Structures are given as C-alpha cells and as structure tokens.
Amino acid sequence: MKSSYVASACIKYLRLMCIIPILILASGTNRADMHTLRTAEQQRYFDVRQAIRTQKPEQYLSQLQEMEKYPLYPYLYYQHHIRNLPENIDGFLTFSDSLKSTPLYPMARHHYLSYLGRYKRWKEFLAISPKEPKNDHLKCYYFRAQAQEGNPDIAWKGAEKMWLTPHSQEEQCDILFNEWDKSGFRTDQHIWQRMLLAFGIRRGSFINYLTKQLDYKRYKDAAKLLMSIYHQPRQIGQGAFLNRKHTTLSIDMIYYGLKKIAYSDLGFAIRTYQKYVARELLPKNKAAVIYRFMMYRILITEEKQLRPLVDDYLKKHPSDKLIESRLRWAIHEQNWDDIGVWLTRLSKKAQNEDRWQYWLARFYQEKQQFYQAQEILERIATKRSFYGFVCAQELKLDFPLNTKSVQPDNLAQRRIRNSDTANRIEELFQLGFKTEARIEWLYLLKNSSKTERQQLALFAQEKNWPHFTIEASIQGKIWDALDMRFPLAWREHFERYAKKHRVPVSDLQAIARRESAFNRFAQSPVGALGLMQIMPRTARETARRLGIRYKGNKQLHDPQTNVHIGSAYYYQLIKQFDQNRIFALASYNAGPSRVKRWRKESDGKLDVMSFIETIPFRETREYVQSVLTYRVIYQIFNEDEPQLFSDKELTRLY
C-alpha cells in the first residue's frame, strides 16, 4: 500500500507555498483574529501584526524588537521587511538568511525576485537567481533578465520553451514573448506549433487568438483550414482533402484531425489513417504515434469489430499499459482463454505483481489446475495489500497486517520538542493558523532525512496531529507502522454518525483516510472539502435533507459537520445501491450516474473481483480497492470482526 501520497503532498506543498504570502499579509479578518482567550504575548503579536499591516512603524518597531524570543517572531520580521524591502542585495541577503530554517525563506526570495523583475533590476535579479527558477512567473522575469544582460541565446531559447504551451501565459510572459518577437526569433512556425497544441486540448478560441498573430499568407490560409477541420474533422477523410497537394502544414492538420475523429468514430479514423499511410503521406514517426493512440482508444471503448487490429498491434508492439487494458477487456467478457494468453504477454515485472498473479491463480482455477492456483493464493495471502487480503479471505486465513513500531530516539525527540520549528507549529495551532502550521510541517519534512522523518512521525503522533503523522510516516517510508499511517482520528464523531446513519464506522474511517488523510482543511482540485472530501453542492443537498443549518463551505472544515454530512451521504449511496458497498464506494468517487452506466455494461455477468478490476477509471478502481483494504485495518483497530467482502457481496453478480 505504498501510495502516491508523497508526490501529491509535494504538489500540495508547492501550491501552499504560493498562497501563504496572501494568508500572512491579508488585510482582512483571519479566523485566528476571532480567538479571544489569548496570552498577553499572543495579543501583542496580533497588535504588532495589525500595525505592520496598516504601515504604522511608530506603533510597532520597539515592540517588534522585544518579541525576538516569541515563536512567531519570524512571521512579524518577515512581514515588516517584505513591506519595507531592502534597497540593496546585501540587505536582502541578511534579511532572508535569517529565515533559512523556515518556509518564509523561499517566500521572501520569491517576493524579492518579483520585486526586482517588476522594477527591471535585471543584474540584481540574476545575482539572486543565477539559475532558472522553477516558478513560471519568475522564469519569464529570468529570461527577460538574460536578454537585457547580454545573453540572448539563453533568453530566446527560454522564451521558445515557455511559448510552446496550449494555455495562455501571465503578463510577464507576454512581455517576454513580445521582446522575443521584436528580436526576430519568433516565427509563424512557432505560432503554428502553439495552435496545434491548442487544437490537441480543444481550445478553439485560443487558436483564433493565435491566428491574428500570423504574418505570412501561407500560414494564414492554413490557419483557416485548421479551424475548419477543428469544427468538421471528418473532411480530412473525404476526397477533396485527401487528393489535394499536401504540405507539412496540412500533414500536421491530418495528424491532429485523426486524433479528434478517434474520440467520436474510431472506425472512420482508422480507415482514413490507412488511406494516408497507403499514400505515404504521414511521416513514420507521426503515423506510429497516432496509430498507437487509436489502439488505446479501441481498448478503452472495447469495440469488438476492431479487436483483431489491436490484438495484432499488441503482438508486434507489446506494452504493459496496453496489455493490461486488453486483459481488463478479457476479464470484462470473462474470456479465460484470452486472459491466459495476455497474462503471458506482460513483461516479467508486471507478471509478478500481486494483481496479475491473482488473475493467474483465477485462470488456473478456471482450468481446473487447483494446485497451481493454491500455491499462488497462499503466497499472495502473506502480503498486506488488497490482493493479499482477497486471498486471505478466500483461504480463510487471518488478514496479514505485519505491523512494526518505530522506536523513539530520546535525543532526537528532545531535539524536535525544543526546536524553533516545533514551537512555531504549536503556537500556530493555538492561534488557529492550521494552514500555516501545515506549511511549516511540510517544509520541515522536505529538509529532513528519512530517519528524522520517522522521529517526526512519532512526535506528531504524540501531539495527536493525525494528518502530520500520516505525512511524516509516508515520507519516512514507515510502511509497517500502521498505527501512524491509520490513526483513529476524530473517533467520537465517526462512531456517533456511523450509529446515527446505520453505516459501519470502519467504512467512514477508511473513506476519510483515503480521501484526505485526515486533513480537515483538505481541498481537492475540483473543490471537494474536508475530512470526507464532500462537494459543496452535495453538502447543501444532504444538509437540507437532514435539516442541518448549512452556512457555507467553511463549515465543511469542521470535523463534526463534515463527518455528519459525509456519513449521511454515504448511507444514501448504500441505500440507493441495495446495501452494496462496492457500488456505493465507486459512486462516492465517480458519481452514481457513472456507476449505473458501468452496471448496465457489465449486465450482471461479473463476480465482485471482475467488476472492480474492470472499472474504467483507474482512479475509481484504485479508490475502491484502497478503501476496502483500509476498512479491514480499521475493523481490526476497532476490535471488530474483519471482513473484506460480505457473503452477499461475494455471491451476487455485478
């Protein structure tokens, strides 16, 4: 169960780093300002912070110096200097170096570089950032600086790289692109390449915008034809277009037009492709890429009449990703001969994965080769994974948790407890700055070794910081420390609303663990909020049905409200799908309408494992498997009888 959580945590960390200056410097009322039970020192902190915001140095400079030993002094120090930026680099370096052990350091650097770029202080910009920054906003300043400081090769190569994106760029990049254009290095070919990228993600309005920047008639005429194909791609398969004299530009249109047609009419796309290949109009590299894409689309749509094409392709061009899709197609049809064939065509590495070893055992069972099947099932049943739990239940064995605790290093624990970072996090929690506390924690983890992260996980566990414990345990790769990876956080809320809505408490805990890792302030890219990641619309509808006074999205950050609404919504799904958790969990992730469509496609011909394996969305497939696995762990922690599937779930058809 080594998840991709580390990668997602790093992405979230970078996003948070971008927004914290807004959180810290915002002039509006922060939720922490509403706390009334403050110490004198905490009250002084808020007084000084407010004076800095209103730019009244006479009211705070003397107090600021007196607060140097207060844990959150670096935040006041940061705010003061950001609002009064040093005029020279040495002054900035003195200021920023004092923040190096805090997440304020990269923020100060970002802020100062933006300031230097805004005022075109290019020499100083490059002195602070001699290497290309990672942030797009700063990259554009960086390449402008290189151009002004006599390094046009670096500048225009960078501009070209930034240009080739299908999305609009921010103002600083537009200025860079204008300078690149005036230098004579940007060509109509660059504009054309960007138009094709926009075509690829269906951004017709952006194609129109870019068309206006073209200079030469050849490209302008091609742009008109490109927009025509964008709206009516099937014309590339008709005689008038097929028989025209083709140029490199029209071949580009064919490539992207075929890809667009493949989404709506695969058969027509393939026939058109074959016509162009027969006339040797498509370059071999482009032909190979578009044909592979078409084969992928066949596997996704499972168009039976096109199956011979994809089977022939996979024999000549083996790919684990595509063969796994072909295997799911065979599982969907319960074609065991095909399952046996395609299992052998996986790479050795893929064949040895628990997933495909399990399906090999199922193949042996279907072919009455029970000894071989038993041997595989017994081996997988020793592993703590979804397939390990499946095999353990089938063989009526105990679920293998294989837990191992982390031993505390007393010296390391004392060092953590006495550290400035730990004191800042504690104080931020006390004042209600949960987001800033998490940013501090992520920065600390980022700059710690694997061993240090393990001790940090112990520290967070002792402090009852469940989300921090999970983050540290995963980044510390403490895979066997299940008490850290699966804490019993907000247990009273889960137990209360599990009882109220007649759903198993372990289901709710497993959903929250998978959805948010118990981060009560979690927000997904699509807007799901809180512990159980509830969409605001769902929350409003569920709250109205329950008679809960729903005041707005912020209410979903309250654990009690979130668990109340989330458990009620889960019960609603369980009831809608006749007490079947497989359908309910898939619906929780992908929505009930999709699950109804998948049920219609499976037509009641699949067993539970075949249905789960053939869920079309990888995210939903892995979500269902994860929650079911986490559920077993929480059942054991709650001292309930552990069960991956109920008898009814195992015996019914899907």
pLDDT tens track for 232-257: 999 999 988 998 989 999 999 999 99
The Cβ-side half-sphere exposure at 259, using a 13 Å CA radius, reads: 19
Predicted pLDDT of residue 29: 39
188-345 is classed CATH 3.40.50.300: no
Q: In the predicted model, is pLDDT for residue 2 greater than 80?
A: no
Average pLDDT over the chain, rounded to an integer? 93
Q: Give the model's pLDDT for residue 36.
A: 55
For the segment 502-521, what is each residue's pLDDT rounded down to a tens digit?
Answer: 999 999 999 999 999 999 99
Confidence of residue 59 (pLDDT cuts 50, 70, 90): confident
Q: Which residue is catalytic, options 515, 601, 613, 641?
A: 515
In the annotation, is 515 catalytic? yes
Q: Looking at the DSSP assignment, which residues form a beta bridge with residue 5?
A: none
Q: Which pLDDT band holds residue 10 (cuts at 50, 70, 90)?
A: very low
CA 199, 204, 208, 214: dihedral to nearest 10 degrees? 0
Domain edges within the chain = 5-181, 188-345, 491-651
Per-residue model confidence (pLDDT) at position 34: 46
DSSP states along 522-540: -B-TT--BTTTTB-HHHHH
Q: How big is the CA angle at 319 (ends 315 and 323), to the nearest 5 degrees?
A: 75
pLDDT-derived band at 616 (thresholds 50, 70, 90) equals very high
Instruction: Return the minimum-mean-pLDDT range out of 22-31, 165-174, 199-208, 617-626.
Output: 22-31
Asked if residues 278 and 289 have their Cβ atoms less than 8 Å apart, the reply is: no
| Nearby residues of 357 by Cβ (< 8 Å), 6 or more positions away | 351, 376, 379, 380, 387
Residue 20 has pLDDT above 70, yes or no: no
506, 521, 511: which is closest to 465 by C-alpha?
521
Longest dimension (CA), the chain: 87
Angle between helices 104-118 and 136-148 (to 10 degrees): 50
The pTM of this model reads 0.90
Percent of the chain whose pLDDT exceeds 90: 89
Per-residue pLDDT, 32: 46
Summarised one tens digit per residue, pLDDT across range 421-475 is 999 999 999 999 999 999 999 999 999 999 999 999 999 999 999 999 999 999 9
Domains 188-345 and 491-651 share a fold: no
C-alpha to C-alpha distance for 586 and 583, rounded to whole angstroms: 5
How open is the CA angle 129-133-136, to the nearest 5 degrees? 135
Bridge partners (DSSP) of residue 248 are none
Helix, strand or coil for residue 473?
helix
Q: Are 401 and 636 in contact (CB under 8 A)?
A: yes
| 170 has pLDDT over 90 | no
pLDDT digits (tens, 9 = 90+) for 80-101: 999 988 889 999 999 999 999 9
Does residue 17 surpass a pLDDT of 90? no
Q: Mean pLDDT across the stretch 115-143?
A: 96
User: For 491-651, which CATH class?
Assistant: mainly alpha
pLDDT value at 7 more than 70: no
**Which CATH number is 5-181 given?**
1.25.20.10
- Band (549; pLDDT cuts 50, 70, 90): confident
Distance between CA atoms of residues 197 and 186, nearest Å: 17
Residue 192 has pLDDT above 60, yes or no: yes
Buried b (16+ CB within 10 A) or exposed e, 186-210: bebebbbbbbbbbbeeebeebbeeb
Instruction: Judge whether 20 and 103 are in contact, CB under 8 Å.
Output: yes
The pLDDT tens digits for 60-85 are 898 898 999 999 999 999 999 999 88
Per-residue pLDDT averaged across 546-574, rounded?
94
Confidence of residue 57 (pLDDT cuts 50, 70, 90): confident
